[in-house]
Amino acid sequence: MKELVEVIAKALVDNPDAVVVNEICGEQSVIIELKVAPEDMGKVIGKQGRIARAIRTVVKAAAIKANKRVIVEII
């Protein structure tokens, strides 16, 4: 799940090296923290959070198989 967020984020930003993804596992849910370079924030959030929403939708679909709730946070 962590790698999925990483792959998508790296493809979107201008500084792929600055992308950092952390995974915090709970019992039923997983929190994924995505960090990017400050100038790339817009590239992963988008107008009205449209890109962020698309990332969450794709990750959610992947999580169905693992039977887990995944929360993607951009910090």
Partner 1 sequence: MRKWVEATGKTVENAIENGLKMLGVSKDKVEVEIIDKGSKGVFGLIGARPAKVKLIIKKDYEAIAKTFLRDVLDKMGLKCEIQIKDEDDILKINLVGPKMSVLIGHKGETLDALQYLLSLVINKDNEVNEFKKVLLDTQNYRKKREEALIKLANRLAYKVKRYNKSITLEPMNPYERRIIHSALQNHPDVITYSIGEEPFRRVVIDLKNKEA
Site residues for partner 1, 35-54, by CB under 8 A, read 50-51, 53-54
Angle at 69 between CA 41 and CA 7, to 5 degrees: 40
Residues 29 and 68 sit within 8 Å (Cβ to Cβ): yes
Does 25 help bind partner 1 (rule: CB under 8 A)?
no
* Minimum distance, C-beta of residue 67 to partner 1, in the bound complex (Å): 12
Q: Which residues bind partner 1 (CB under 8 A)?
A: 1, 3-4, 7-8, 11-12, 50-51, 53-55, 57-58, 60-62, 64-65
